[in-house]
Structure 1
Amino acid sequence: MRVLIIGNGGREAAFGKKLAQDKRITEIFFAKGNAATENIGTNIYITEISELLHFAKREAIDLTIVGPEAPLVDGIVDEFKKAGLRIFGPEKKVAKLEGSKAYAKNFMKEFGVKTARSMVFNSFVEAKEYLQKESYPLVIKASGLAQGKGVVIAEDFDEALKTIHDFMIEKIYGDAGIQVVIEEFLKGFEVSIIAVSNGKDIFPMISAKDYKKVGNGGIGANTGGMGSLAPSPDFTLIHNRDFLDNILKPTLEGLKDNYLMFTGFMFFGLLVTENGCHLLEYNMRSGDPETQVLMELLDNELADVIEDCIDGREINLKFKDEKAVCLVLASGGYPGHYETGYEITGLEKVQHSSVFLSGATNKAGKNFTAGGRVLNIIATGKTFDEAREKVYADALPVKFDYAFYRNDIAKF
């Protein structure tokens, strides 16, 4: 098989590493990839859907896997399918469940998916009036795609007002924030459930935990993820049954009722409270950095899972009886302003972990920072403590100017 993976993060590198272990995979292309993926396959520096379609035809690509959300929302799956090409991901109309949080919230309400009470606003004035009447804290979300950063927990009216002004008037996330979702704050812990769909049913993987806040102890701004682990130690069998009954089942019914069934990944972002599981959001792709730990534990061949989904066969997911931990090393200033172009050294000294460069590029045989989340270090063990010790020991020799990471991944 010849495979094309679209995306340039640690998630795509994790897909690539997993597929490269399958002897049936003869060649892997990444569009546009990063410094890690060029050691797994071949990076191609094209991003336009029309160019990717032309490339897939010319190179006789057998399977395309879409990593990030933007090309899905832009309709890449629709175009590839029109051309008779095999691609794993939802069509544009389904990807809207991630592309518009307002649309997703209305979907949840319509089909009885357990979620937080919320309101959607297109008007700054109406949103402000609503904020004056509510109790705090409140959660404010940019409705569109904001790379995982368009969510603020406002502790009081002043912070909430500044947030909607930043989103709707200042447009700090462009058009993604001109419509906002304001919802009640729920207290509990977050869980990521990534599933695959075969067009008829949805098959969840083991649970994962994503550390979204930039600072130790879960403080500071939201990020794309500063680390992850799997399986989530706090997610019990009782929680899982609640998820299946009150979130996955009504979601599946809603997809079928709206003729939205698809073949691809589906991400359920959960908030588990004393009253059970609530759905925070859908992502219509696999998560980053959750993919990194899940691929380390997946016992199936990834190509088999994807091919069976596309062909509508039953899926039997199997995972190793181990724990996995991922640590993200980031550029100083992230998720705000940061500088790039700093050389990354010490990677050859990593002994017990896998390393996936994400926000990095290779020049003349040397690696340099090129993004906010620069690289992922992933290890497995019989216990979380074992996996955690490996990850943090291997992080010590890895250096680049202004590098930082959280010290508490897999501690809580």
Structure 2
Amino acid sequence: MRLLIVGNGGRASALALKLSEDTRITKMFFAPGNATTQKIGENINETDILKLRDFAVKQNVDLTIVGPEAPLVEGIVDEFKKVDLRVFGPSKKAASLEGSKAFSKKFMQTYGIKTAKAVIFDSYPEAKEYLQSQKFPLVIKASGLAGGKGVVIAEDLEHAEGTIHDFMIKRIFGDAGIQVVIEEFLQGFEASIIAFSNGHQFFPCVAAKDYKKAGNGDTGPNTGGMGSVAPSPEFTDAHNRDFVQNIMNPTLEGLKKEGLGFKGFIFFGLMVTANGTYLLEYNMRLGDPETQVLMPLLENNLVDVIEDCLQGKELNLQFKNKKAVCLVVCSGGYPKNYETGYEITGVDKVKNSTILYAGADYRGNKVVTTGGRVLNIVALGDTYEEARKKVYEDAVPIHFDYAFYRDDIAKF
């Protein structure tokens, strides 16, 4: 088999490592890939979806797996299907559940999916007026794609007004903030559930825990994710039953009624409160850094699972009885301004973990930083403490200028 994996972050590295176990795969292409994928397959410096489609035809690619949200929202799956390429992911229309928070919130409200109360605004003056009568804290979301950074918990009126001004007037996220969703703040803990879809059923993986804030103790700005743990230690069977009944099943019904059925991944971002489990958001793809802890736990052959989904078959997902921990090492200044091009050293001294590069590429024989989230350190253990000890010990010898990471991942 010849595969194309679209993406260049730690998620692409985790997929590469999992897929490399399959002896049927003779060639893997990564677009654009990173330092890990370069050693496993061939990186191609291309992100344009039409050029990727033509590349897949020319190279006789048997299966394409799409990692990031942007190409899905742009319609990569539709384009590949036009020329009968086999691709795992949602259509452009279904990807709107991630591409537009306004669209997804309306979908949740229409189909009775348990979610926070919210109002959608296209008008800055109307949004500003609405804020005057609200209780704080509340949550403000840029409707479009903002790389996981377009959600702000506003602690008071001044913070809220500044946020909608940044989103709607200053356009700090470009067109993504033209429309905003203002919703009630839910107190609790977050959980991530990623499911495979075979077109008419969902098959969820074990719940994962993602650490979104840049600083220890969940402080600082939102990021794409500073670490992850699976299974989530806080997410109980009762929480899962609530999720299935009030979120997953009505989502499936809504997709059927809207004609949005698809074969790919769906990510449920959840908030578990004293009043039960609520849906915060959909992602229509694998999460990052959740993929980095789910792939080493998944016992099934990934290609077989995807093939079964594409054929509409039922799945029987199996996961190791282990704990997985991922620590993300970042460039100083992330998620705001940061510099790249620094050499990464000490990876050869890592003993008990797996290193998955993300924002890092080869320059000659050296690996240098190219992004904000530079690399992931992943380990398994019989306990969270054991896995945590491995990743933090292996973080010590790794060095690049201005590197930083959180000290409290998997500290329970």
What's the counterpart of residue 314 of structure 2?
A: 314
Q: How far apart, in 1, do the equivalents of 2:39 and 2:132 lie?
A: 54
In the alignment, what sits opposite 1:380? Answer: 380
CA distance in 1, matches of 2:314, 2:83: 26
Give the structure 2 partner of residue 111 of structure 1. 111
Percentage of matched positions with identical amino acids: 67
Report the secondary structure of 2:129's partner residue: helix
**Deviation (angstroms), 1:361:** 1.3
SS, match of residue 229 in structure 2: strand
Partner of 1:404: 404
2:133 — aligned with what? 133
In 1, Cα distance between equivalents of 2:365 and 2:21: 24
Residue 300 of structure 2 is aligned to residue 300 of structure 1: yes
Q: Which residue of 2 aligns with 1:180?
A: 180
Question: 1:95 maps to what in 2?
Answer: 95
Which amino acid is 1:77 matched to? V
Q: Which runs of 4+ in 1 moved over 6 A?
A: none
User: Structure 1 residue 55 and structure 2 residue 55: aligned?
Assistant: yes
2:146 maps to 146
Aligned AA (2:19): L
Structure 2 stretches of 5 or more lacking a match?
none
CA distance in 1, matches of 2:98, 2:275: 25
Q: 1:81 matched to which residue of 2?
A: 81
The whole-number CA distance in structure 2 between the counterparts of 1:350 and 1:55 is 36
Q: Give the match's secondary structure for 1:329.
A: strand
Deviation at 1:90, TM superposition (A): 0.1
User: What is aligned with 2:279?
Assistant: 279
Partner of 1:343: 343
Q: CA deviation at 1:313?
A: 0.6
**Counterparts of 1:390 and 1:123, CA distance in 2:** 50
* 1:200 corresponding residue in structure 2: 200
Q: Distance in 2 between matches of 1:26 and 1:229?
A: 31
- 1:6 matched to which residue of 2? 6
Count of residue pairs brought into register by the alignment: 412
Matches within 5 A, 1:162-311: 162-311=162-311
Separation in structure 1 between the aligned mates of residue 94 and residue 173 of structure 2, nearest angstrom:
22
1:300 and 1:26 map into 2 onto residues whose CA distance is 19
3-state DSSP of counterpart to 2:282: strand
Q: How is 1:351-362 mapped onto 2 (pairs within 5 angstroms)? A: 351-362=351-362
Tell me the alpha carbon deviations over residues 7-57 of structure 1, each in whole angstroms, 9 at most, x when there is no partner.
000001100100001111111110000111101111011111111111101
Deviations 1:105-144 (A, max 9, x none): 0000000000000000000000000000000000000000
Give the whole-Å Cα distance in 2 for the aligned partners of 1:50 and 1:284.
20
Residue 71 in structure 1 maps to residue 71 in structure 2: yes
In 2, the alpha carbon distance for the partners of 1:228 and 1:344 equals 22
Q: Distance in 2 between matches of 1:340 and 1:125?
A: 39
Name the SS of the counterpart of 1:56 in structure 2.
helix
SS in 1 for 2:35: coil
Give the C-alpha shift of residue 395 in structure 1.
0.4
> TM-score scaled by structure 2?
1.00
Please give the root-mean-square deviation of Cα atoms over the aligned residues, in Å: 0.5
Q: How does 1:29-48 map to 2 (within 5 A)?
A: 29-48=29-48
1:390 alignment counterpart: 390
Give the whole-Å Cα distance in 2 for the aligned partners of 1:248 and 1:108.
11
- Return the letter of the residue paired with 1:394: D
Q: Deviations over 1:188-241 (max 9, x none)?
A: 000000001000101110000000000000001000000000000000000000
Return the alpha-carbon distance in structure 2 between the equivalents of residues 50 and 257 of structure 1: 30
Instruction: Give the letter for the 2:28 counterpart.
Output: I
Is the partner of 1:120 in helix, strand or coil? Answer: strand
- Inter-partner Cα distance in structure 2 for 1:53 and 1:250: 34
Secondary structure of 2:55's partner?
Answer: helix
Structure 2: distance between partners of 1:134 and 1:318:
46
In the alignment, the residues of structure 2 paired with residue 171 and residue 401 of structure 1 have an alpha-carbon distance, to the nearest angstrom, of: 31
Distance in 1, Cα, partners of 2:158 & 2:47? 41
